[in-house]
Structure 1
Amino acid sequence: MVEAQEIYFDESGFTGNDLLNDDQPVFVYASVAIKPQQATDLVAEMISFFRLQGNELKGSNLVSHRRSQSAVLWLIERCKGIASIVIANKKLALAGKFYEYIFEPVLQADNSLFYSVRLHRFLSNFLYISFVAKDPTAEALLIEFQTLMRNQDTSSIQRLFPAQGQLIAVEDPLSQILTFILCHKEKIAREIKDLGDIDGVRKWILELSSTCLFWTLSFWSEQFEVLKVYCDDSKPVIDSPAVFEAMIARQDTIYIKFGSDHERRLTFNLNDPITFLDSKKSHGIQIADVLSCSIAYAFNHPEEPFSKQCIDLAQTMLSPLCILPDHNEIDLNQKHAFINAMILTELVSRSVKKESLLDGMREYIQKLYIYYELFPPKLERK
């Protein structure tokens, strides 16, 4: 019998379905693969060596005091090779949810095509960067989208675009996005309404912890055959048990393709249901707590030397699942960005004409790649 590997999880920056919270702009989900006795010994060594008060490590206390920050750096160094950390810029994550719930339902018959060319990254980064630049259209789009998803009131989808009868220009991506919504609003509304019938989805539709937990477990499953999972109390995970219970004693291995050359494992093997623990009673949870709090603090206070040290030490722990802005995704001098801008224009044109969005689309995209290689654009950067 294969011995299960214990994995401990904790989070920092949780704001539920409010991803536009300015006080906590990042969400960090940390995990550490460590045996219980090893965790106990590591915590005891840290408390003794740095003469910390109490018997419990609290990340929020340690990172906010200069005297204990050296202890945090020591712990991060000790966790290299046994920890994985997901960092999510919450506004960018909301822009990603926008693609998932606005564009994906309309394109679902061939979703893999558009994921393979990174259309989701192009649109989410464009929306995010426009939002932080305080473009009023982008601000209205994300604010109204979050309200729509939190309230599950599909009648409010009408607020995403101008009053009925008013024409929308299509010269820029934001106007194209509005036009796309206008052309497909009934289908989008139906899909969002149907989400309310899925157990656990309606209540926590935008929150990030369940998604981070799932994909981090898929990451750990590449290293360990059987997993035993411990989490700090997490209401979204507690309210959505079915997806994780389906992985108990799961022997098969299924992969899902993301992009043209990247796959993620879709299954993992849990030896029993997720165990929820009070951090006071679990040294593994305490270690994950310090890791998540320190990275969240570092991103929220980037000007501090301690923050730079945290990020530098944690580089090898950062998961490929991190959701962080990437300006290259919308740089039209880059092949993927240029092609996705053309794809968006084509999708909107077909939507306005009420033509099929998928017929001949693969061939159209292939021609875009050929055209780019023959005539690469040289756009002047402003």
Structure 2
Amino acid sequence: MQLNNDLNNLQIYCDESGFTGNKLLDVDQPIFTFASVASNEEEAKFIVEKIIKDYGIQNGEIKSGNLVKSQKGLRALDEVLEILDERYKICICDKKYAIAGKFFEYIFEPALAKKNSIFYGINFHRFITDYLHLKLVTQDKSAEVIFEEFYKIMKQGVDTPTDSLFQIASNQSDPVLNQILKFAHYNKDSFLYEMDGYLGDGAGKWILDITTTCLFSSLGKWGQKIDILDVYCDSSKPLNANQEIFNSMIGRTEKKSQIHEQMNLEQPLTFNLKQPVQMVDSKNFYGIQLADAIAGSFNYAYKNIKDEKNQLAQKWMNKIFRDESILVTFLGGDYEYANIEKAGAMLNWLILNHIVQKCDDGLSILDNISDEILSLRQLMLLNPPPNVKVWNI
């Protein structure tokens, strides 16, 4: 059967692998992947039935969670990826990196919002995120305590500011974590004000979950090629709770994007939906089974990327890192922005110390902050710390 390559006559099917909801520190499921595939039920049925027959798959349904457990199953997934080449998109999220980014978004961003472009421009957000991610990966107990409290607050909500919220620890051995915790403690009111009335109900119940973000980003990418999107997703509690954001895209014909000049990135903000996103059962929709196969393949591949002998994991990951059109979202990293041997990271470390000191002194963080950052930069250039490459500043 020849595949239909007219994208405007196809549906978009979506599924995920590694879902744990708000529990982004689940030890058994460290990676979340979200896949979307352009197909239709006729060809999807043909592909699924071919794979089931050729590889002797039991139960009459493609389930990547089972297929990744054997070499025969991995070959079956590889054939699915080959058949659907250039017809799928993938989001890959290291959950520890994702929750570190959420911490910056909800704890730091409200306090810095009025002048946040300054901090984003010098990658202050990446310094904080990368450092927290590094500490979580190395299983630093101090970082785990911070995120346990963060998770509890985001899940249950806090009615009023309390002295115990992000309490400053006197025995904190890590100087960067100590300053991050102090910032969180001093600026808890701006965080609570931002979250007032949102946590705990409806969409707010799934505030840490990344399913909705991945679906929205994926549809934004598809919307750049397809005029009207007809979307089907495996039934999901977070997506059911967040239907409003997608319903606002029904009949949305204008195309808006946000340009991130520093990253040379265009992020679509709108897309045109034919109808509300349909929540369906994978047993009844072959296209969802294909999306499951793709999501599971890349979940497996990312977990095994460091195994140079795993040829399929290497093949799949190399493909998406070479082709920007496939990879929609990648939340992970090599901690580059937390390496204080680089001037950019050292500058951000000095800035963190500076704004926490302003909090200690009861001063507004943002007053004169542009000039103060320039002064810190000049100080580094004139008196560079040992081992810091100042030309990277």
Give yes or no for the alignment of 1:312 onto 2:315: yes
Specify the alignment match of 2:89 in structure 1.
84
Question: How many residues are matched?
Answer: 376
TM-score, normalised on structure 2? Answer: 0.85
Equivalences for residues 265-276 of structure 1 within 5 A:
265-276=268-279
Once the two structures are TM-superposed, the CA of residue 75 in structure 1 deviates from its matched residue by: 1.5
Q: Distance in 1 between matches of 2:241 and 2:151?
A: 21
Give yes or no for the alignment of 1:161 onto 2:164: no
For 1:133-156, what per-residue CA distance to the aligned partner results, in whole angstroms no more than 9, with x for missing partners? 233321211111111111113567
Equivalences for residues 18-167 of structure 1 within 5 A:
18-153=23-158, 158-162=164-168
Percent of pairs with identical residues: 34
Deviates more, 1:217-226 or 1:33-42: 33-42
Once the two structures are TM-superposed, the CA of residue 232 in structure 1 deviates from its matched residue by: 0.3
Q: Distance in 2 between matches of 1:99 and 1:348?
A: 15
Specify the alignment match of 2:240 in structure 1.
238
Report the residue type matching 2:230 in the other structure. K
Specify the alignment match of 1:331 in structure 2.
339
Specify the alignment match of 2:294 in structure 1.
291
Q: 1:187 to 1:332 in 2, by over 3 A?
A: same
Q: Distance in 2 between matches of 1:332 and 1:212?
A: 31
Deviates more, 1:66-75 or 1:281-290: 66-75
Deviates more, 1:150-159 or 1:94-103: 150-159
Q: Secondary structure at the match of 1:251?
A: coil
Report the residue type matching 2:193 in the other structure. R
1:5–1:34 CA contact under 8 A, matched in 2: yes
Q: Distance in 1 between matches of 2:90 and 2:383?
A: 41
Once the two structures are TM-superposed, the CA of residue 302 in structure 1 deviates from its matched residue by: 5.5
Structure 1: which 5+ runs fail to align? Answer: none
Q: Distance in 1 between matches of 2:309 and 2:281?
A: 28
Report the residue type matching 1:161 in the other structure. Q
Once the two structures are TM-superposed, the CA of residue 110 in structure 1 deviates from its matched residue by: 2.4
1:299–1:307 CA contact under 8 A, matched in 2: no
Q: Secondary structure at the match of 1:127?
A: helix
Specify the alignment match of 1:185 in structure 2.
188
Q: Distance in 2 between matches of 1:157 and 1:55?
A: 57
For 1:71-96, what per-residue CA distance to the aligned partner results, in whole angstroms no more than 9, with x for missing partners? 11221222331111111111211111
Structure 2: which 5+ runs fail to align? Answer: 1-6, 321-325
Q: 1:214 to 1:366 in 2, by over 3 A?
A: farther
2:155–2:199 CA contact under 8 A, matched in 1: no
Matching residue within 354, 359, 367 for 1:359: 367
1:31–1:84 CA contact under 8 A, matched in 2: yes
For 1:8-28, what per-residue CA distance to the aligned partner results, in whole angstroms no more than 9, with x for missing partners? 110111111111110111111
Report the residue type matching 1:342 in the other structure. L
Once the two structures are TM-superposed, the CA of residue 212 in structure 1 deviates from its matched residue by: 0.9
Once the two structures are TM-superposed, the CA of residue 303 in structure 1 deviates from its matched residue by: 7.0
2:301–2:316 CA contact under 8 A, matched in 1: no
Q: 1:316 to 1:305 in 2, by over 3 A?
A: closer
Matching residue within 315, 329, 332 for 1:321: 329
Report the residue type matching 1:129 in the other structure. L
TM-score, normalised on structure 1? Answer: 0.87
Report the residue type matching 1:360 in the other structure. N
